[in-house]
Amino acid sequence: MTFRDILLQQVINGLSLGAMYSLLALGFTMVYGIIELINFAHFNVFMVGSFIAMWVLEALGLSGQSRILTGWPLASVLAVAFGITMLACGVLGIVIERTALRPMRHVPGTAAMITTIGVSYILFNIILLSTGAITLNYPNPMPSMAWHIGKAVLRLREVLLWGVSLGLMVILHLFVRRTKLGKAMRATAQDQEAARMMGVEVDHVIMLTFFIGSALAGAAGLIFGLYYNFTSFLIGYTAGLRAFTAAVLGGIGNIVGAMVGGLIIGLIESVGGQLLQVRWTDVIIFSILIAVLVFRPTGLLGLSAPQKS
C-alpha cells in the first residue's frame, strides 16, 4: 500500500465515523436549539438503540454473522429494524422528556442538565443489569461486499452508513425548513413566549424535538452495531462525548453545524491517528475544539442558525 492508498482508506474510515457522530450530534444540537439544554441522556439513548435493534434483528431470526442476506430480504430486514428502533427510541426520548425534564423546565440553573446525567446513568444501569456486561456479538445480515479503489477498500457497510446518514439528514433538513411543524420548531427556538402567543403548541414541539433527536440516536445505534459487529453497555460514553464535541464544534444549536462538526471529528480521529499515534486521538480532538472555541466561541458555523431565517 502506498501512502496515498492508506490516506484514502483513513478518509473512508473517518467519514464513516463522522457520519455516525453527525447523526448523534443532531440530537444534542436540536434539543439545545429549542430549550437550551445539554441532554446527556442522549449518550445512552444511542446505546439503548443499538440493543433494541439487536433484539429486533434476533427476533427476525438472525444471529452472529452467519446468516447473510442480499437484495430485497436484506432491504426489508434493515427497513424493519430501522423503523422499529427509531420508533422505540423516539418514544423513549418522549418518555424522558415528559417524566424527567418537563418538571425541571422552569427550574433555573443546571438542575435540568444534572437530571439528564441521572437519566443517562439509569439507562446505562438498566442495560448493564439486564444484559450483563460483556461485549455482545451483533447479528449482521450484510454481505461482505467491497470495492477496491487502488489498494483502499470501500465496503458495503460504509456505503450503507453514509447513505442512511445522508438520507436522514436531508429529510431532517427539509422537515425543519419546509414543513409547518418545522416552522413551529424554528419559531420555538427563536422565542418560546412569542411562539406560544402565535398559537404554537410549545410542549408538543419540544416533545417532537426529543422524538426526532432520539430516533436519530436509535438509527445511529443500529448503524453502530452493523458497522462494528458488536455492542455493549459502554458504547454510549465515548461516541456520545465525541458527538457532543462535534455539536459544539459546529456551533451548538445549528443543525448543519452538527453534521459538519461530526464529519470533521471523524476525519481528525482517523487521519490524526494515522499521522501521530492513536493514543493521542482525544488530545488532538479536544485541542482542536479548544482552538476553535477560542477564536470562534460560537463554533464553526455560529450559534442557532434558525434565528437567522
Contact 261, 250 (CB under 8 A): yes
Contacts of 114 (CB under 8 A, 6+ apart): none
Q: What is the DSSP string of 69-85?
A: --HHHHHHHHHHHHHHH
125 is a contact residue toward another protein (CB under 8 A): yes
For residues 20 and 56, which CB has a smaller minimum distance to another protein in the complex? 20
Q: Is the dihedral of CA 121, 40, 166, 287 positive or negative?
A: negative
Q: Which is nearer to another protein, 175 or 230 (CB)?
A: 230
Which range touches another protein (CB under 8 A), out of 89-97, 191-199, 226-234, 291-299?
226-234
Query: Do the bridges between strand 136-137 and strand 230-231 make them parallel or antiparallel, or are there none, so unpaired?
Result: antiparallel
Of 63-92, binders to another protein (CB under 8 A) are 64-65
Q: Which stretch binds another protein (CB under 8 A): 82-90, 99-107, 236-244, 250-258?
A: 236-244
Instruction: Work out the burial of residue 246: count CB atoms within 10 Å of its CB; fewer than 13 is exposed, 13-18 middle, 19 or more buried.
Output: buried
Q: How far apart are alpha carbons 220 and 210 in whole angstroms?
A: 15
Strand runs (DSSP E) across 34-174, as ranges?
Answer: 136-137, 146-149, 152-155
Told to check if 307 binds another protein by CB under 8 A, we report no
Is 224 among the residues that bind another protein (CB under 8 A)? yes
The answer to whether residue 162 forms part of the interface with another protein (CB under 8 A) is: no
Residue 207 CB, shortest distance to another protein, in Å, is: 30
Binding mask 245-284 for another protein (x = CB under 8 A): ------------------------xx--xx--xxx-xx--
| Interface with another protein, residue 235, by CB under 8 A | yes
Q: Are 167 and 79 in contact (CB under 8 A)?
A: no
> Mask of contacts with another protein, 179-218, x by CB under 8 A?
----------------------------------------
| Number of chain residues interacting with another protein (CB under 8 A) | 41
User: Per rule CB under 8 A, is residue 154 in the interface with another protein?
Assistant: no
Q: Look at residues 270, 34, 292, 249 and name the one whose alpha carbon lies nearest to residue 158.
A: 270
Looking up cell 430480504, which residue turns up? 73
What is the distance between the alpha carbons of residues 48 and 55, in angstroms, rounded to a whole number? 11
* Binding residues for another protein restricted to 127-146, rule: CB under 8 A: 128, 132-137
CB nearer another protein, residue 180 or residue 279: 279
* Burial (0-12, 13-18, 19+ Cβ within 10 Å), 134: exposed
> Which residues of the shown chain bind another protein in the complex (CB under 8 A)?
1, 3, 5-6, 9-10, 13-14, 17, 64-65, 124-125, 128, 132-137, 155, 224, 228-230, 232-235, 237-239, 269-270, 273-274, 277-279, 281-282
